Amino acid sequence: MNSPLKNKRILLTGGNGFLGSFVAKKLKERGCENIFIPQKKDYDLVKAQDIENVYRDAKPEVVLHLAAVVGGIGANRENPGKFFYDNLMMGVQLMEQARINKVEKFVSIGTICAYPKFTPVPFKEENLWNGYPEETNAPYGLAKKMLLVQSEAYRNQYGFNSLFLLPVNLYGPRDNFKPESSHVIPALIKKCVDAVKAGDAQITVWGTGKATREFLYADDCAEAILLAAEKYNKSEPVNIGAGFEISIKELTEMIAELTEFKGEIIWDKTKPDGQPRRSLDTAKAFKEFGFKAKISFKEGLKETVKWYKEQKPKANG
C-alpha cells in the first residue's frame, strides 16, 4: 500500500493506549517511520505548556488525537468533572496548537456517547444535535463533541483541515480489564474467567440486560481512522462502526459460552443500564473513505477471551 501518510511526520496521542497500539501497528505496516508517541511521564496533554512542548519536539504534519480519559458506566459516574475537563482541555488545546503550527491534517476521535440519549436507531450523523446525551456519560460525551464544533469553526475561519470520527464501543486484545474502569466486554470476560477459575456458581451483572450496544473490533477501528486520515477532508462527523446491535443479555450469554462459565447470571437492577439502545448507521464511512468492518463479532470475542486468558496477570493491572 502506497499510503499518503508514509513520509509524513505523525503525532499520535494515546499511541500507547488500547486503540492507539493498533493504530501505531497499522501506521508501521504502511511504511510510516516518523511516528511521535508522547509518553505520559514527559507530557501532560491537559497542560498548555506540555502541549506546546510536544509540538516543538514532534514537529508534526499530521496529528491523530486518540488520547482520552475514559471508562465504563461506573468510572463515568465517579469522575464526571475529571472526564469533562481533561478531555476538553486536551482536545481544544491540541487542535489550537495544530492550527498555530500549520499542521496539514488533524484527526479527532470522538465517541458514541456524544449522541442524544434517545437517538433513533441506527444513529445517523445528522441526529447528533437532536437532544442531550445519556446523563451517566454526558460530561465525557459533550467534552468530545466540542471538538466537532471546534473542527467546523476552524475550517470555516482558518481553512484548517480537521476531521471528527465517532467510533462505537470498541473491544479486542489489550483492552482495559481493570474492574474500576473497564467497559462492558472486558468486565464480563474477567467476571466469567475469574468465576470459572474460582468455581463460583454465579456472577452479578449491572442493569437489566435489556440495553443494546454495537461493538467494533479495535483493529477494524484503527483501519477506519487511517483510511479517513488518508482520504477524508471534511469536518462533517462520520460514524465508525460494525453495523449490528446486540442486547447486553445476549452479549453476557455469548461471553459465558466462550469462557465456559456455566453458572447463574444475576442481574443487579439497582445499577444503571446506560443509554437504552446503541447502533450506528455506517453508510457514510463506506461512501467517503471505503471503510467496512471485517472481523465478525464472535471471532473478535474469541480473540479477546484468548488474549485475556494468556495475559491475565498483566491484564488485571
Task: Give the model's pLDDT for residue 311.
Answer: 87
Q: Which residues contact 48 (CB under 8 A, 6 or more apart)?
A: 93
Q: Is residue 262 included in any domain, yes or no?
A: no
Q: Does the structure show a pLDDT above 80 at 219? A: yes
The single-letter code of the amino acid at 2 is N
Helix or strand run (H / E) with residue 246: strand 246-247
Q: Residue 317 pLDDT more than 60? A: no
Is residue 171 flagged as an active site residue? no
Residue of higher predicted confidence among 316 and 147: 147
202 located within any domain: no
Predicted confidence band of residue 314 (pLDDT cuts 50, 70, 90): low
Given a contact cutoff of 8 angstroms between Cβ atoms, the answer to whether 181 and 245 are in contact is no
Residues in the chain: 317
Considering 43, 55, 140, 232, which one is annotated as catalytic?
140
* Number of separate domains in the chain: 1
Residue with cell 461471553: 255
Q: Which residues contact 17 (CB under 8 A, 6 or more apart)?
A: 66, 67, 68
**If you average pLDDT over residues 93-107, what whole number do you get?**
98
Q: What mean pLDDT, rounded, does the chain reach? A: 95
Judge whether 91 lies within some domain.
yes
Give me the mean pLDDT over the 244-261 stretch.
97
Per residue in 51-87, pLDDT (tens digit) is: 999 999 999 999 999 999 887 777 778 999 999 999 9
- Cell numbers placing 168: 462505537
**H-type alpha helices, the chain:** 18-29, 48-58, 73-78, 80-100, 138-158, 184-198, 218-231, 248-259, 283-289, 297-315
C-alpha cell at 4: 499518503
Q: Phi and psi of 219, rounded to 5°?
A: -65, -40
Q: Is residue 199 part of a domain?
A: no
Identify the pLDDT of residue 117.
93
Query: What average pLDDT does this structure show over 8-29?
Result: 97
For residue range 158-196, list pLDDT tens digits in order: 999 999 999 999 999 999 998 887 889 999 999 999 999
Q: With bands split at pLDDT 50, 70 and 90, how would you rate the model's confidence at 272?
A: confident
pLDDT of residue 89: 98
**Distance, CA of 298 to CA of 302 (rounded, Å):** 6
Phi, psi of 71 (to 5 degrees): 180, 175
CA dihedral over 305, 306, 307, 313, signed as positive or negative? positive
Model pLDDT for residues 27-59, shown as the tens digit of each residue: 999 999 999 999 999 999 999 999 999 999 999
Can you tell me the distance from the alpha carbon of 307 to that of 218, in angstroms, rounded to the nearest whole number?
14
Per the CB < 8 A criterion, the answer to whether 67 and 88 are in contact is no
Structure confidence at residue 313 as a pLDDT band (50, 70, 90): low
What secondary structure does DSSP assign to 128-166, as a single string? TTSSPBPGGGHHHHHHHHHHHHHHHHHHHHH---EEEEE
Q: Tell me, yes or no, whether 52 lies in a domain.
A: yes
Range of the domain at 48: 10-172+214-244+277-295
CATH code at 43?
3.40.50.720
131 located within any domain: yes
Residue 139 lies in a domain: yes
* Inside any domain, residue 191: no
